[in-house]
Amino acid sequence: MHYKADALYHVYNRGNNGQQLFFTPAHYHHFLRLFRQHLAPCAEVLAYCLMPNHFHFLLHTTVAGTQPTAASTSTTTQPLSRGIGELLSSYSQGLNQQLGRQGGLFQPKTKDKQVDGPFCEPSYAATYLHYIHQNPMRAGLANGLDDWPYSSYRDYAGLRSGSLCDQQQAQRLLGLPRSTALFIQESAEAIDPTRVRDRWL
């Protein structure tokens, strides 16, 4: 896919054939370190959630991350597209080596959906942010939004001082409340699943 600059994308992938991606807390943390290395320089991260067999990111694209090399206009030369490939390849190689396994770990094509296009209502992107944070509860992995350590919810809720997400940019672009209490209240409200067209993974 060709990423446009200054746009919002929901980027996600899952284990090939639904297989598990993360087996220990160290695996989740390692994936996020690789994300910082390969992908964070190419886009602004607004939200994320890592689940045992899939992941979600809400990204705001930058000019630098979407600018193709001078030699080609192919989408594969965009730094953001390259970064996604390098992230998944690096993590797959490390996990395969550690577990003594072979073969593809992720589904062949990472999916992405622009959530601020001309046919999206203004609150659509904010709905996605809350949807991403609610995944662990919907999957029965957590009783509350703050129970799952592998998402950006705890940072927005003031329970952790993580630096991966640009909260100020998210507040500006998505209209999120600047008050932590109001954000927690907004996050707790149920999301109508029909508003998230590709549903949850």
Spatial separation of the C-alpha atoms in residues 67 and 120, rounded to whole Å: 25
Q: Residue 28 pLDDT > 60, yes or no?
A: yes
**Percent of the chain surpassing pLDDT 70:** 90
Crossing angle between the packed helical segments 79-99 and 25-38, to the nearest 10 degrees:
150
Q: What is the DSSP letter of 24?
A: S
The pLDDT assigned to 34 comes to 97
Q: Would you state the pLDDT for residue 68?
A: 81
8-195 belongs to CATH 3.10.20.30? no
Rounded CA-CA distance 16/31 in Å is 17
pTM of structure: 0.89
Neighbours of 78 (CB within 10 A): 23
pLDDT tens-place string over residues 63-114: 999 988 655 555 457 999 999 999 999 999 999 999 888 888 999 899 999 9
Burial of 21 (0-12, 13-18, 19+ CB in 10 A): buried
pLDDT digits (tens, 9 = 90+) for 105-159: 999 899 999 999 787 887 889 989 999 999 999 899 999 999 999 999 999 999 9
Q: Where are the domains of the chain?
A: 8-195
Q: Is 61 helix (H, G, I), strand (E, B) or coil?
A: strand
Band of pLDDT at residue 12, cut at 50, 70 and 90: very high
The pLDDT value given to residue 197: 47
> Which tokens in the block code for residue 152?
């950006």
